[in-house]
Structure 1
Amino acid sequence: MQLKYHPDEYDLRGQLRLPLLFWLVLLLQARTWLIFIMAGASRQQGDALLSLFYPDPQAFWLGLVLGIPALAALLLTGYRQRWPRVWQCWRGVLIVALLLASVSQAWQMQQVGLASPLPLLFTLFDLLCLWWLWRSPRLRDCFLPPDPHDE
């Protein structure tokens, strides 16, 4: 078995470890869920927190829906060997979800205007994450099926 990466880059099962940036991308994609949890934990200032990030309730609900693939990816990371076909497809699901999030944010900024720099900042981060998910060879290798000849 010839390794493409340094042996430290593999876990005990022989799977390529997911990059730290992947976890950060998932947290960015699930940001509406994180804000929702923080708002629920802070009951006194929860409404103010939600209105700061999501003045439009429709944007909040859309953010929750678009964050579901990231939450599912967080759960699927533990089942990479058990459900390899689902795992292989999930990178594409994350790319589509980020693309939809970027388009919806750009549309909302066009409709409402730029009252705050947060939507523009999140859109730029989403586009950067989208580019990385699409172009990173290391991440692409993390989603490849296990090679049966390696065992």
Structure 2
Amino acid sequence: MTDLHDDDGRYALPFFLWAILLFQARAWLLLVMAGVSQQQGEELLRLFVPESTTLYWGLGLGLPALICLLLSGYRHRYPRCWRASRYCVLLSGALICLWQLSQWNRSALEASPVLLLLTVFDIVTELMLLTNSRLRHCFNQ
């Protein structure tokens, strides 16, 4: 067996796929962390997401990545859904990039470079999903 396959002979999902999916589902991760931290959950949400509409947008746009994460364990049972999930993740990633670009203004970028960094990382993840042959191959088994 090569390092590209697991013990059962199936194609192993690359680390970058997990990182990309977790990055796109970051609003869901923040919501879970706030839920686990019962006493300071609301403060944690206000610290990272000052506006509630931003959290709702993040949850909505991160949903395809979350579904893809959950579907990854059943990718051999539901191959059509698994293949379609790549396009859903690509589309939601493009929408995340467009939404973040619409949030750009001079005062926001001067106050904190986080929005710029998140946008750059989102563009890099989109390019990796489009161009990386190993990431493409894991959806076309």
Q: With structure 1 as the length reference, what TM-score do the two structures score?
A: 0.84
Aligned with residue 25 of structure 1, among 16, 20, 29: 20
For the residue of structure 2 that corresponds to 1:7, the secondary structure is coil
**Could you tell me how far 1:111 is from its partner in structure 2?**
9.0
Matched positions, count: 140
For the residue of structure 2 that corresponds to 1:9, the secondary structure is coil
Gapped regions of structure 2 (runs ≥ 5): none
Tell me whether 30-39 or 113-122 shows the greater mean CA deviation: 113-122
Computing the radius of gyration over CA atoms, which structure comes out larger, 1 or 2? 1
Match in the other structure for 1:148: none
For the residue of structure 1 that corresponds to 2:84, the secondary structure is helix
- CA distance in 2 between partners of 1:61 and 1:47 (Å): 15
- CA distance in 1 between partners of 2:56 and 2:106 (Å): 17
- CA distance in 2 between partners of 1:7 and 1:75 (Å): 25
Identical-residue share of aligned pairs (%): 44
Contact kept, 8 Å, 1:102 with 1:127, in 2: the verdict is: yes
Root mean square deviation, CA, Å: 1.8
- CA distance in 1 between partners of 2:95 and 2:116 (Å): 15
Tell me whether 51-60 or 18-27 shows the greater mean CA deviation: 51-60
- CA distance in 2 between partners of 1:14 and 1:20 (Å): 18
Q: With structure 2 as the length reference, what TM-score do the two structures score?
A: 0.89
- CA distance in 2 between partners of 1:40 and 1:119 (Å): 24
Match in the other structure for 2:59: 64
Gapped regions of structure 1 (runs ≥ 5): 1-5, 146-151
Residue 131 in 1 paired to residue 124 in 2? no
Letter in 1 for 2:10: Q
**Could you tell me how far 1:112 is from its partner in structure 2?**
7.1
Match in the other structure for 1:122: 118
- CA distance in 1 between partners of 2:98 and 2:44 (Å): 24
- CA distance in 2 between partners of 1:51 and 1:59 (Å): 11
Letter in 2 for 1:28: F
Tell me whether 47-56 or 127-136 shows the greater mean CA deviation: 47-56
- CA distance in 2 between partners of 1:51 and 1:134 (Å): 34
| CA deviation vs aligned residue, 1:74-114 (integer Å, no higher than 9, x gap) | 11111111111111111111111111011111112239733
